[in-house]
Amino acid sequence: MTDTVQTGAGAVRGTVTDGVWAFLGIRYAAAPVGPARFAAPAPAPRWEGVRDATAPGPTCPQSPYAAPAAALLGNVIEPGDECLNLSVWTPDPGASALPVMVWIHGGAFTRGSNRIESYDGRAFARDGVVLVSVNYRLGIPGFLSLDGAPDNRGLLDQIAALRWVQDNIRAFGGNPDNVTVFGESAGGMSVAALLASPAATGLFHRAVVQSGNATAAADVEDARRVTAVLAGNLGVPATAAAFGALDPGRLQSAQDDLGLELAQNPDPARWGASVVQRGLGVMSLFPTIDGEVLTSLPIDALAAGAGTDVPVLAGTTTDEFRFFLVPTGIAAAITADTLPFVLHRYGIDPATADLYAGHRPGATPGDVLAAILTDYAFRSGTVALADAIVRGGGTARLYEFAWPSPVQDLRACHALEIAFVFDRLDVAHRLTGDRPPQSLADEMHRAWVQFATTGDPGWAPIGASRPVRVFGGEGDPVVTDPRSDELACWIG
């Protein structure tokens, strides 16, 4: 056995710990610097000798999370030109035909990386899976629509990484004909986009969408409105050449200001209806329907039959939106008088609050708002995605993560399930508390491994009804159409 593997661009040396090989920070594309900052990803240059792959690589440019989120999420920022890198964990580079899983991180398309401890793939490798975790361009470099540059550069990076997997994963013991792509939040939205993209056809064979949807794509005209606002703020033409000439730090600062401007004034007349609605009033930079990478809104492409040969597992957490409302103090500030006005801001009928409050005796107005926005922003989009896949002739299964974290009354909040999926509860105490149930991680991790291996995680796909596998709940682990009257507020 050896700790050295030969890739198409050169040899890499990793480390072996407790029977798991880790090869970290491998370049899958050329550094996106200089004229390449707004170009499609180019192949990584070849190297001579053996390249060290014993430490994670640089992260793509980004700003730190704001304090409430930073206290809960362990994001690491490590500047460096070679940010288009990936990491591989394998049980044995000398094996053959092992299932492969490719992780796409979240972060609202502006933050995150493959360096986060919860994304360490050793438990997957321990259980016979080759795990690949990918960095991709974020924010302005990844998703701003510019004259003189291809759109969706962040998605193009993900596609380039999947092509790298096809070309190289056999050297790590993996089977390129059995690849599962999975991601959470913006990563889940990315997976839905890849399912719909003709440019990604054939690069993966199963997909998992965690807390994502298939509507996170702006019309190109509206994406260019965002570009015009940003160019005006910077005082430069809305071209790749002009943006490429700016200092990266200045671009990052302008991007941060842009996000605040949208959140404070989500006016469709300024930003475009598709940006405000599909970005939920908070995301200004996300995929664009460019006619090439995305030829239509992903959910429409899926309903029309795109990706029908790729089984999909999709789900959410029970209390997604508490992550955004509770630590910030917003939930505590909501009153019975202000709740209708907040719902109106999202275009939600204030009468919806009566239904949700009626199912939650003793809930505060902030609790009711969190439940409504969880379904509005996450659960409804996930169920609609699964329904579209079935209408298009594909197969979809649904899950819900229901275990309530004791931390800050977050309950089953956004991103809580990730450490359970990766079986890395040892590094997730900021979100899980000190005594998260290992048995739940065993269940959830096993289901993901089984899905990647066989295509069947252990429960039935949706059809005339929607069976949902509930992890960490009480009672029957499979529930048909849970809280259907609330879901009916958003979809049929």
- Hey, which bits of 194-251 come out as E strands? 206-210, 218-219
C-alpha distances in Å from residue 305, one per residue of 288, 295, 391: 20, 13, 8
Q: How many CA atoms lie within 13 A of 58 on its CB side?
A: 15
Spacing of C-alpha 188 from chain mean position:
4
Which H or E element spans position 270? helix 268-271
**Spatial CB neighbours of 305, under 8 Å, sequence gap ≥ 6:** 392, 393, 394
Catalytic option among 184, 197, 211, 320? 320
The per-type count for the chain, helices as H runs and strands as E runs, is: 21, 16
Query: How many Å apart are CA 457 and CA 467, to the nearest integer?
Result: 13
Query: How many Å apart are CA 262 and CA 73, to the nearest integer?
Result: 23
320 is catalytic: yes
Spacing of C-alpha 424 from chain mean position:
18
Rounded to a whole number, what is the distance in angstroms from the first to the last CA of the chain? Answer: 55
Considering just the CA atoms, what is the radius of gyration of the chain in Å?
Answer: 22
Catalytic option among 400, 414, 417, 486? 414
Backbone torsions φ then ψ of 120, nearest 5 degrees: -60, 130
**Spatial CB neighbours of 419, under 8 Å, sequence gap ≥ 6:** 118, 425, 427, 428, 431, 432, 436, 441
Spacing of C-alpha 108 from chain mean position:
8
414 is catalytic: yes
Query: How many Å apart are CA 366 and CA 302, to the nearest integer?
Result: 35
In 3D space, the residue among 84, 116, 121, 128 whose CA is nearest the CA of residue 102 turns out to be: 121
Catalytic option among 87, 113, 185, 190? 185
185 is catalytic: yes
Q: CB atoms < 10 A from the CB of 350, how many? A: 12
- Hey, which bits of 1-46 come out as E strands? 4-6, 11-13, 15-17, 20-27
Q: Which residues are catalytic?
A: 185, 320, 414
